[in-house]
């Protein structure tokens, strides 16, 4: 008896013992194939938090994406240097099973931009009120071109060279459209940024070789909305604008998730290539 015939016989015996008709089994496998094809076409999603935030800032977005069937990661970044942060992102990307969409908020945009051209499993970038620098640019040089943003007005540096936001600036300007109680919680868990990061010069930016999307926060008091629009226009990003302050993933999680899902649909990869 051939191996194929033996396998068919064993399957029929199993179905008979389980009291499952061949017709019912056929319907089940057809439905399973459709489901596998649907989920297999979706990229993984890695969310990159920015300065003075942490991975939990994405909680509302994560809940929505997971409910819609996406595999999501929102790791913690050391914010000790751009090199350290890019290394953490590469660490997480290395164990993603298949194509991955990377989403960055604020300084998180700097981290994913610095992936450059060496990001083999990344299929797209979504910037959420985020920095999108070009080669040769730095955060410090960019921010020095205009007045100090209200959210950074009282930025102070500790003895180890890390910058922190004051409570008033954080609650009223950094997270100005978040409820006061929640904003104070976000303030309490803020992760400081090494001030040396302001001098890090961008190499070849990842956005020049990948499709991009950009969410502009119209009421941003940390990163000027006009700067966000300039980033988006320069990279040729699909752009949406919403009436949000600097943390739209907290105050407008559904709108942020909508853009991420649209990007995921646009870069969907057939299951056969996973």
Same domain, 144 and 11: no
Query: Do 153 and 18 fall into the same domain?
Result: no
User: Bridge-partner residues for 44, per DSSP?
Assistant: 100
Distance CA 103, CA 256 (A): 10
Residue 31 sits in the same domain as residue 51? no
Distance between the two ends of the chain, CA-based, in angstroms?
35
Residues 179 and 224 in one domain: yes
Name which of 103, 172, 111 is nearest 139 in CA terms.
111
Instruction: Render pLDDT for 215-268 as a digit per residue (tens, 0 to 9).
Output: 999 999 999 999 999 999 999 999 999 999 999 999 999 999 999 999 999 998
pTM reported for the whole predicted model:
0.84
- Assess whether 196 and 71 both reside in one domain: yes
60 and 172 belong to one structural domain: yes
Range of the domain at 233: 43-267
Report d(CA 272, CA 222) in Å as an integer: 43
Q: Is position 20 within any domain?
A: yes
Q: Does 274 fall in a domain?
A: no
Residues 22, 52 share a domain: no
Question: Total structural domains in the chain?
Answer: 2
The average confidence (pLDDT) of the chain is 88
**Residues 23, 102: one domain?**
no
Q: Say which range, 38-42, 98-102, 263-267, has the weakest mean pLDDT.
A: 38-42
Name the more confident of 116 and 9.
116
Rounded CA-CA distance 194/65 in Å is: 31
Q: What is the pLDDT of residues 132-181, one digit of tens each?
A: 999 999 999 999 998 999 999 999 999 999 999 999 999 999 999 999 99
**Dist CA 237 CA 203 (whole Å):** 19
Q: What is the pLDDT of residue 188?
A: 97
Assigned domain for 273 exists: no
Q: Residues near 70 by Cβ (< 8 Å), separated by ≥ 6?
A: 42, 44, 45, 261, 264
Q: Are residues 94 and 211 in the same domain?
A: yes
Pair 51, 79 in one domain: yes
């Amino acid at each position: 008896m051939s191996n194929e015939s033996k396998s068919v016989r064993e399957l029929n015996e199993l179905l008979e013992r389980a009291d499952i008709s061949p017709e019912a089994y056929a319907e089940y496998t057809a439905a399973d194939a459709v489901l596998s094809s649907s989920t297999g076409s979706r990229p993984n999603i890695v969310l990159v938090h920015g300065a003075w935030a942490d991975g939990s800032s994405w909680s509302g977005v994560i809940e929505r994406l997971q409910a819609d069937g996406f595999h999501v990661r929102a790791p913690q970044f050391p914010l000790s240097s751009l090199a350290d942060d890019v290394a953490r992102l590469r660490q997480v990307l290395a164990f993603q099973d298949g194509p991955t969409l990377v989403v960055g908020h604020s300084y998180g945009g700097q981290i994913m931009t610095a992936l450059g051209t060496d990001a083999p499993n990344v299929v797209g970038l979504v910037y959420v009120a985020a920095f999108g620098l070009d080669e040769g640019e730095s955060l410090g040089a960019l921010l020095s071109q205009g007045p100090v943003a209200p959210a950074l007005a009282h930025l102070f540096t500790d003895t180890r060279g890390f910058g922190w936001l004051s409570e008033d600036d954080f609650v009223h300007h950094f997270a100005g459209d978040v409820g006061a109680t929640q904003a104070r919680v976000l303030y309490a868990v803020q992760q400081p940024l090494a001030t040396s990061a302001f001098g890090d010069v961008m190499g070849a930016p990842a956005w020049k070789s990948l499709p991009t999307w950009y969410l502009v926060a119209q009421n941003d008091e940390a990163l000027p909305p006009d700067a966000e629009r300039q980033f988006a226009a320069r990279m040729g990003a699909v752009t949406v604008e919403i009436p949000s302050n600097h943390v739209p993933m907290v105050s407008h999680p559904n709108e942020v998730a909508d853009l991420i899902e649209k990007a995921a649909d646009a870069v969907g990869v057939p299951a056969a290539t996973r």
